[in-house]
């Protein structure tokens, strides 16, 4: 799988995004990371999710004495974010169109003197 597809595939899971959100607050050990999820899933399931994140370059693992610590690898998200950023114009355009539409509606309504569209001066 190409790197960009691998990044998006890794992000396509709510548990993996929750693990990243937790790591965005700071480095953590696998045990610390797994703790809030252990009611819903097993430790091997969490470990598997962490491996997907590591393989796709979204996190890095370091071995510090007997502890394994995980941290976010920002670089791994850069290409995905930049790919999506190209499309920003599409939603900003639609917000602009909504803005224009609302302006037209309120202006037409105030011309007709409708009380519910009264503009404050």
Distance CA 13, CA 121 (A): 49
14 binds its own copies (CB under 8 A): yes
Distance CA 51, CA 46 (A): 9
11 binds its own copies (CB under 8 A): yes
62 binds its own copies (CB under 8 A): no
**Least separation in angstroms between CB 28 and its own copies:** 15
Angle (CA) 91-97-100 rounded to 5° is: 145
Between the alpha carbon of residue 3 and those of residues 9, 54, 57, 58, 101, the distances in Å are 10, 12, 9, 11, 41
Q: Identify the residue among 20, 33, 34, 52 touching its own copies (CB under 8 A).
A: 20
**Least separation in angstroms between CB 120 and its own copies:** 30
The footprint of its own copies (CB under 8 A) covers 1-2, 4-9, 11-14, 17, 20, 24, 72-75, 77-78, 80-81, 83-94
């Amino acid at each position: 799988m190409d790197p960009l597809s691998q990044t998006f595939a890794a992000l396509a899971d709510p548990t993996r995004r929750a693990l990243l959100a937790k790591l965005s607050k700071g480095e953590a050990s696998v045990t610390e990371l797994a703790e809030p999820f252990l009611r819903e899933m097993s430790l091997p399931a969490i470990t598997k999710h962490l491996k997907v994140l590591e393989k796709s370059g979204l996190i890095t693992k370091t071995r510090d004495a007997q502890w394994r610590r995980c941290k976010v690898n920002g670089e791994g998200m850069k290409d995905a974010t930049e790919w999506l950023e190209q499309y920003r114009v599409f939603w900003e355009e639609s917000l602009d169109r909504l803005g224009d539409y609302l302006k037209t509606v309120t202006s037409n309504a105030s011309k007709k003197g409708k009380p519910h569209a009264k503009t404050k001066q």
